[in-house]
Amino acid sequence: MITVSILGGSGYAGGELLRILLFHPKVKVQEVTSRKFAGRPVSLIHPNLRKATDLLFIDPKDIKKCDLLFVALPNGESMGIMKDLQKKAEKIIDLGADFRLHKASVFTSWYQREHALPELLSKFVYGICELHRNEIKKASYVACAGCEATVSILTLYPLVKHKLIKENVIIDAKMSSSQSGMSPSLSTHHPERAGVVRSYMPSGHRHTAEIEQELSEFGDLSVAISATAIDMVRGLLVTIHTVPNKGVEEKDVWRAYRAEYKDEPFIRIVKESTGIYRYPEPKILQGTNFCDIGFELDWKTNRLVAIGAIDNLVKGTAGQAVQALNVMYGFEETTALTSPGLHPI
């Protein structure tokens, strides 16, 4: 039994961590912080946790030592206090963006600010277990991937590693409203946000940097993301348009995915010839830690379309973090992450 605390527990990532960790048989949630809601029950903000816990939020300045600390703060906030946090726990899993990129210069170019702790960047392991399981096993510090980066990297990794596609990759991402966090604004106001198919970021998505970092070891890669917000609370689907290398056939793609993922508990290759769920769909992944991946080779236009889907708050955030915890402590990797998802939903 280990003790964990959550710094920044009133956001969606923090709530999702709680939802999972409260049912983890080897973990005791010690404290959850919120500056704004200190003293109030966590179920005030996360009403799904009524009856599951009596925890109250505490002020972050009162946080005690624990075995592992989850940091779920807005981007840019954890790097300023990470030195203090290191005194609170031997192990830290950061769910924000501050320690994902290994190079401070790349961070600066995408986030338009200096990194406050560049010397610590090399101590953090990028949190996708499917790519970095062995490093995570030994890591003290893990930086979980961005949700959009997670699904894109997992979908592309076997294609890139097995040299099946050319350098230029276009990621057309369909995004949900929970990705914009918990702060209301006119753009998230229900009458304005419901029913949209909104090109909120036709180019320039920051997760590009993570994808290029993780995949460029296998060769040059140019990644372009276009992000469209749709009427969905949870979930993320990427349609990735790539150009296959000469001679690549469907069986090569199957082989690459199987080679990398056949023993992965949270990855499913979804490519059916019948039924109505023939490709990955985020709808049925809500609440699960799965990343579903599919593909189609388009002979006429010489294209390989790869499709990936996740729940952005689970595999894309909190589930990924718990999976990393499981690996760090040698627990069964699927512990507390076995929910199969709902159908219909």
So which residues are the catalytic ones? 147
Contacts with a copy of itself: how many residues (CB under 8 A)?
95
Long-range contacts of 130-134 (CB under 8 A, 24+ apart): 130/154, 130/157, 130/260, 130/261, 130/264, 130/266, 130/267, 131/157, 131/214, 133/327
The stretch near a copy of itself (CB under 8 A) out of 14-22, 59-67, 137-145, 317-325 is 14-22
Question: Quick one: which of 65, 83, 113, 189 contacts a copy of itself (CB under 8 A)?
Answer: 189
Would you count residue 206 as binding a copy of itself (CB under 8 A)? no
Would you count residue 149 as binding a copy of itself (CB under 8 A)? no
CB of 93 to a copy of itself, least distance (A): 21
Written as one letter, the residue type at 18 is L
Strands 141-143 and 291-298: unpaired
User: Coil, helix or strand for 271?
Assistant: coil
Residues 6+ apart with CB under 8 A from 229: 175, 176, 177, 193, 196, 197, 198, 200
Give residues 263-302 in contact with a copy of itself (rule: CB under 8 A): 265, 268, 270, 272, 274-284, 286-288, 290, 294-298, 300-301
Question: Quick one: which of 222, 249, 258, 259 contacts a copy of itself (CB under 8 A)?
Answer: 222
**H or E element in which residue 33 lies:** strand 27-33
Question: Quick one: which of 61, 217, 220, 345 contacts a copy of itself (CB under 8 A)?
Answer: 345
Would you count residue 307 as binding a copy of itself (CB under 8 A)? yes
Would you count residue 46 as binding a copy of itself (CB under 8 A)? yes
Q: Which is nearer to a copy of itself, 105 or 338 (CB)?
A: 338
CB of 104 to a copy of itself, least distance (A): 19
Residues 285/341, Cβ–Cβ less than 8 Å? yes
Would you count residue 305 as binding a copy of itself (CB under 8 A)? yes
Would you count residue 19 as binding a copy of itself (CB under 8 A)? yes
Residues 36/9, Cβ–Cβ less than 8 Å? no
